[in-house]
């Protein structure tokens, strides 16, 4: 069993434990983790303000300034329309990391509970979650309000078969915990109160790193953007643009269990994950923990 990442000083174990236990809850970040884009940066690019907003995003994700200092500022600057938010949802789907859909499908087939917890905008993130087969209640993101009197709002006949005025502009966000740096930890704690089992969190940013105290294992993801602070603080760090290693990290067995193992694409994703893990594309803070996992994923007799 892998030790809790940050127990109280008085409870610090003498060293890594000799086993690696499977995980029951798997919590993904969205931007630069499940998908290779940062949603707010794409909204800015469409408006020609990408450099300005990207600088703010990187400052927050690298931990140089608090997330809350830039969250509202970026959205107030851009005021995206409802149609742009829908386009962002489609962009998320189009830019899923290779194999990400298979990883999520394999976890669900292996009866793991899968969640997305993201500081992204809910309309787009939920679109991605639905695409991956997740129920809406398993997707946590930032809700937004729109000014329905924006644009040619009176031409209701032009959007009568769509949900709301597509030209309606952003008017504000829900002010929830995911708009502040420590807010992801609050959501993770809520999930832990509602669901039993060991939890793993995967993400690329400092807001993910700050939520590590709420899970048994934080896995830093550097396959899209590598952040030094996240790499230094993660118990496990993925250095390749693939989420396949998540499967052996979660399930800790030589192969997928049936019936998931009977689906060739899922079995291939698991084999890829094991291969990448063995090749050194996944870095462990503890050599003993890595050795414990390798014992679990090695078939008997090898």
Separation between Cα atoms, residue 135 and residue 129, nearest integer Å: 7
Q: How many CA atoms lie within 13 A of 65 on its CB side?
A: 11
222 phi/psi in degrees, rounded to 5: -115, 20
Strand-pairing partners, residue 282, are: 238
Separation between Cα atoms, residue 129 and residue 204, nearest integer Å: 18
Taken in order of first residue, the domains within the chain and their CATH numbers are 17-297 (3.40.50.1000)
Q: What is the tens place of the pLDDT at every residue in 282-301?
A: 999 999 999 999 999 998 76
Separation between Cα atoms, residue 253 and residue 108, nearest integer Å: 16
The residue to which tokens 């790193």 are assigned: 209
Q: Hey, is 172 helix, strand or coil?
A: strand
- Tell me how far CA of residue 276 lies from CA of 89, 260, 273, in angstroms: 29, 20, 5
* pLDDT at residue number 162: 61
Strand-pairing partners, residue 283, are: 237
Separation between Cα atoms, residue 120 and residue 217, nearest integer Å: 22
Strand-pairing partners, residue 114, are: 26
* pLDDT at residue number 301: 65
Highest mean pLDDT among 114-118, 169-173, 179-183, 259-263: 114-118
Q: What is the tens place of the pLDDT at every residue in 174-210?
A: 888 998 878 999 999 999 999 999 999 999 998 899 9
Catalytic positions are 29, 31
pLDDT beyond 80 at 70 = yes
The first and second tokens of residue 160, run together, are 């009568």
Separation between Cα atoms, residue 169 and residue 148, nearest integer Å: 7
The rounded radius of gyration (Å) of the Cα atoms in the chain is 20
Residue ranges of alpha helices (H) inside 65-139 are: 67-78, 82-94, 100-109, 122-131
What stretch of H or E contains 246?
helix 246-251
Separation between Cα atoms, residue 145 and residue 174, nearest integer Å: 8
| pTM (2 d.p.) | 0.87
């Amino acid at each position: 069993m892998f030790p809790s990442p940050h127990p109280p000083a008085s409870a610090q174990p003498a060293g890594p434990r000799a086993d690696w236990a499977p995980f029951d809850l798997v919590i993904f970040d969205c931007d630069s983790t499940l998908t290779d884009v940062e949603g707010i940066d794409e909204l800015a690019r469409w408006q020609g303000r990408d450099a300005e907003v990207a600088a703010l995003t990187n400052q927050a994700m690298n931990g140089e300034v608090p997330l809350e200092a830039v969250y509202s500022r970026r959205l107030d600057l851009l005021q995206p329309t409802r149609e742009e938010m829908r386009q962002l949802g489609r962009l998320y789907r189009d830019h899923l990391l290779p194999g990400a859909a298979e990883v999520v499908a394999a976890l669900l087939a292996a009866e793991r509970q899968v969640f997305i917890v993201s500081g992204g905008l809910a309309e787009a993130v939920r679109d991605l979650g639905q695409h991956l087969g997740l129920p809406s209640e398993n997707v946590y993101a930032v809700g937004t309000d729109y000014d329905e009197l924006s644009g040619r709002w009176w031409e209701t006949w032009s959007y009568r078969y769509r949900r709301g005025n597509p030209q309606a502009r952003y008017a504000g966000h829900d002010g929830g915990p995911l708009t502040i740096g420590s807010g992801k930890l609050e959501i993770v704690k809520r999930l832990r109160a509602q669901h039993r089992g060991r939890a793993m969190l995967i993400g690329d940013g400092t807001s993910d790193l700050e939520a590590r105290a709420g899970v048994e294992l934080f896995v830093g993801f550097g396959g899209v953007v590598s952040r030094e602070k996240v790499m230094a603080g993660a118990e496990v760090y993925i250095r390749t643009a693939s989420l396949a290693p998540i499967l052996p990290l979660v399930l800790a067995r030589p192969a997928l269990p049936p019936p998931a193992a009977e689906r060739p694409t899922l079995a291939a994703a698991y084999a890829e994950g094991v291969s990448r893990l063995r090749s050194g594309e996944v870095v462990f803070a503890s050599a003993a923990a890595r050795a414990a996992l390798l014992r679990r994923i090695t078939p008997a007799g090898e």
